[in-house]
Each structure stands twice: as C-alpha cells, then as structure tokens.
Amino acid sequence: IGSGKGKTAGRGVKGQKSRSGVAIKGFEGGQMPIHRRLPKRGFSKPNRLQFAELSLNKLVAAIAAKRIDVSGQLGEEQLVAAGLVRRRLDGVRVIGTA
C-alpha cells in the first residue's frame, strides 16, 4: 500500500492506542489529570432552608388589585390563596427595594 501507512496504519501493534474509538476521558498521557489537580471546594447543605421568593412589585400589585386583605397580619396562607406563592416552604422571602 503506497502511502506508507499500511497494515496497522501507523498505530503500532496491539495495545490500547492501536484500537479504534475515542481516547479515554480525562486521561492526559500519564500527567496528573486536571480534575485531580484542582482542589475540591464547597458542598451542598443537606438540611438547608428553602424559601419561596416573592418580589415586592408583585406584592404591591396584588394589594392594589385588592387580592390581599392587609387590614390584619399578612401570612403565608394569604399569599398562597392569592396565588403569589406556589406552596408553603420554610418561609417567604420578599425580594426588592422599597
């Protein structure tokens, strides 16, 4: 075969690199792979509190549209009933500036 790449096509004989297919993910030729060189940082807190988020603009708009009665205390039940908060979590966090 005239190209000079006959039989084994320049891959040598036997072994992992002579086989067809993709190179091994994360293998860097014996050098320490980047996923082992970089430090592992942080974690996810398993018992973290989850808050329902409510923007101040939506709250003001609901009060203006008389969907919420503000004569008494404003609670989570009222926000869920008004459709401002989807469900009760560990509390409601009002986001925005006054």
The Cα–Cα gap between 42 and 84 comes to 33
pTM beyond 0.85, yes or no: no
Q: What would the pLDDT profile of 47-63 be if each residue is shown by its tens digit?
A: 999 999 999 999 999 99
Average pLDDT, the chain: 86
Sign of CA dihedral 40, 42, 44, 47: positive
